[in-house]
Amino acid sequence: MTIEKNKVVAFQYVLKNEAGEEVERTGVDDPIVYLHGGHQNLLPRLEEALEGKDKGDQVVVTLPPEHAYGMHLENTVHRIPKKHLLTREKRLKPGMPIKVNTAEGPRDVMIVKVGKFNIDADTNHPLAGMTITFETTILDIRDATPEEITHGHSHGWDASEHHH
């Protein structure tokens, strides 16, 4: 079975920055599981690169910022009340990537300064302005259930997840 529209795909990845340094990797027991076929569950260029691939294939995809997490914008530092931070981390410090709750949902930001009740955070994605490389390994592929196709996302590898 190869990756095509309305297949559910489980894969692992190592994400590297321009310098080839590891930024992120999926855990051994915690692969990414997504519904393939233009449902906007993955970066579109990454999804394109996985099209037609098979279980066990390794796919390396390098994406310039405009196809990854966007260009680095100026004047994007905002003051955010600490109660809006989605973290249990107590030792906040500058340079730390963090998730915050916004009107549009959770968002990745980078801490610039830490105050008593607020932090100053740069709302550029921590990987904005970077050319990044995903080194992926396809772990498994299955047919999507009719429900997953209707919803436009996977319900986990065993199709039993209901997180919404």
Stretch that binds Zn ion, among 21-29, 98-106, 118-126, 146-154 (CB under 5 A): 146-154
- State which residue, 16 or 36, has the beta carbon closest to Zn ion: 36
Q: Does 41 bind Zn ion (CB under 5 A)?
A: no
Tokens standing for residue 160: 């039993």
Tell me which DSSP letter residue 54 carries. B
In DSSP notation, 79-96 reads EEEGGGB----SS--TT-
Cβ neighbours of 91 (radius 10 Å): 6
For residue 2, the minimal CB distance to Zn ion (Å) is: 24
Q: For 22-44, b where at least 16 C-beta lie within 10 A, e where not — what string?
A: eeeebeeeebbbbbbbebebbbe
For residue 67, the minimal CB distance to Zn ion (Å) is: 27
Q: Does 149 bind Zn ion (CB under 5 A)?
A: no
- State which residue, 75 or 160, has the beta carbon closest to Zn ion: 160
Nearest-CB residue for Zn ion: 151
Q: Does 151 bind Zn ion (CB under 5 A)?
A: yes
Where on the chain is the footprint of Zn ion (CB under 5 A)?
151
